[in-house]
């Protein structure tokens, strides 16, 4: 019995990160009160969606899922598959990104993935499925971006913007309970399908690697709002995008598995203001699947050694989600982490309110020089593609 107990503890620690927790302390009454205050402070910023809106999204995704199943059945019939296969052919819409993590804000778009069996080609997705969407009266602003690094169909379904990626698996049918975290699904897949699957696999792994999903979600909502208010929420501009912020918060949750949001927000700033970059942030030990896909590994790839702020995705093939970070953007972020720590120190001492953390700094007093970029397009259609 003693060994079982020990192995259980070991399993727990193994499950929640690559090191032991920093603290297992449980929340005190003061922490609960501060967390409640945090929720109240977040509400006016529109970070929580009304139940009605949430139900509308679920309904829209249900309709989309039915369209996918219908389309795959039609294609299966046109390719003369046996009736027994057609009846169970399946097909499914998976979500990823902020919606799947449960931290999307009011009016945010949905990242989705259409998963199809092996007899459905990528070209079918961009032709017959595109046409099927075109026929739906709820669908507006439909456009296909087939030549993108991760090819996508973009649309507005009943007022909600949705990006749909496509992955064709080497399976005859797509079961309802399919777990995309299964590495064996990647065998013999087209690289575009592997890239398309990556978003879902990473999101699902993150949710499996945090000790308490509700605490993780509330903390991430707060950190995302803080990052947006401080103008450091942007992968393209060399800061961090949504998945990177999610991984930093997940790592904080692993280090303080019993803490609640008010404590976790403070610990987030504590951990990352003192982090010794470029040591990587990892949520689990990278696994080798022998599928010969390029993975982040500075021992093997010299270019990986120059990454300044590596935050490594937890699903195979592991990638650095922050390759755009530069010396100057990292400096800005570390400075912001230190500021965040100073403010949350005050909040924990009841010397400041949460609202102070979300105050927008005066960007136009901060620097001496500014660059203005003007982008224009000759037509509305071309502007949409931008």
Task: Tell me the C-alpha distance between 131 and 125, whole Å.
Answer: 9
Backbone phi, psi, residue 69, to 5° = -60, -45
Is 297 among the residues known to form the active site?
Answer: no
| Residue set of the binding site for Mg(2+) | 109, 111, 163
Cβ(116)–Cβ(169) below 8 Å: yes
| Residue set of the binding site for ATP | 96-98, 105, 109-111, 163, 224, 233, 242-243
**Residue length of the chain:** 386
Cβ(221)–Cβ(42) below 8 Å: yes
To the nearest 10°, report the CA torsion of 273, 275, 280, 284: -90
Q: Which residue is catalytic, options 16, 124, 204, 224?
A: 224
> What are the CA-CA distances from residue 374 to residues 93, 228, 238, 371, 377 (Å)?
37, 22, 20, 10, 10
Q: Which residue is catalytic, options 37, 69, 109, 130?
A: 109
With residues binned 3-state (H G I as helix, E B as strand, rest as coil), the percentages for the chain, rounded to 5, are: 50, 10, 40
* Residue closest to 361 by CA, chosen among 229, 259, 221, 246: 229
Q: Which residue is catalytic, options 76, 98, 244, 262?
A: 98
Task: Tell me the C-alpha distance between 354 and 39, whole Å.
Answer: 10
Is 338 among the residues known to form the active site?
Answer: no
In DSSP notation, 131-188 reads HHHHT-TTEEEEEEETTSSS-EEEEEETTEEEEEEEEE-S-SSB-TT--TT-GGGGTT
Cβ(89)–Cβ(138) below 8 Å: no
Q: Which residue is catalytic, options 31, 111, 124, 204?
A: 111
| Residue set of the binding site | 96-98, 105, 109-111, 163, 224, 233, 242-243
Q: Which residue is catalytic, options 31, 163, 204, 304?
A: 163
Q: Is 88 exposed, middle or buried (0-12, 13-18, 19+ CB in 10 A)?
A: exposed
Positive/negative CA dihedral, 7, 9, 14, 20: negative
Is 233 among the residues known to form the active site?
Answer: yes
Is 163 among the residues known to form the active site?
Answer: yes
| Catalytic residue positions, numbered | 98, 109, 111, 163, 224, 233
């Amino acid at each position: 019995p003693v060994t079982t107990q020990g192995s259980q503890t070991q399993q727990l620690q193994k499950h929640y990160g690559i090191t032991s927790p920093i603290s297992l302390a449980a929340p005190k009454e003061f922490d609960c009160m501060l967390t409640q205050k945090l929720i109240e402070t977040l509400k006016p910023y529109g970070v929580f969606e009304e139940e009605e809106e949430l139900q509308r999204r679920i309904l829209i995704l249900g309709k989309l899922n039915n369209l996918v199943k219908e389309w795959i059945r039609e294609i299966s019939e046109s390719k003369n598959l046996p009736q027994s296969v057609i009846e169970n052919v399946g097909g499914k819409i998976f979500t990823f990104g902020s919606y799947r993590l449960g931290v999307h804000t009011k009016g945010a778009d949905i990242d989705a993935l259409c998963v199809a069996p092996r007899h459905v080609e990528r070209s079918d997705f961009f032709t017959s499925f595109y046409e099927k969407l075109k026929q739906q009266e709820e669908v507006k602003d439909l456009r296909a971006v087939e030549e993108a690094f991760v090819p996508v169909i973009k649309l507005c379904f009943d007022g909600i913007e949705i990006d749909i990626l496509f992955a064709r698996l080497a399976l005859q049918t797509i079961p309802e309970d399919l777990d995309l975290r299964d590495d064996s699904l990647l065998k013999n897949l087209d690289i575009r399908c592997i890239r398309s699957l990556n978003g879902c696999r990473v999101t699902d792994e993150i949710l499996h690697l945090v000790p308490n999903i509700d605490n993780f979600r509330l903390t991430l909502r707060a950190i995302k709002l803080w990052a947006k208010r401080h103008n450091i929420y942007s992968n393209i501009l060399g800061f961090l995008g949504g998945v990177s912020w999610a991984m930093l918060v997940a790592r904080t949750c692993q280090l303080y598995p019993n803490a609640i949001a008010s404590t976790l927000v403070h610990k987030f700033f504590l951990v990352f203001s003192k982090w010794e970059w470029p040591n990587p942030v990892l949520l689990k030990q990278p696994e080798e699947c022998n599928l010969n896909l390029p993975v982040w590994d500075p021992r093997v790839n010299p270019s990986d050694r120059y990454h300044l702020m590596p935050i490594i995705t937890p699903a195979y093939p592991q990638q650095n989600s922050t390759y755009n970070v530069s010396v100057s953007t990292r400096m800005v972020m570390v400075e912001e982490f230190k500021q965040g720590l100073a403010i949350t120190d005050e909040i924990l001492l009841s010397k400041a309110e949460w609202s102070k953390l979300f105050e927008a700094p005066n960007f136009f007093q901060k620097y001496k020089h500014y660059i203005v970029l003007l982008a224009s397009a000759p037509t509305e259609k071309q502007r949409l593609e931008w």
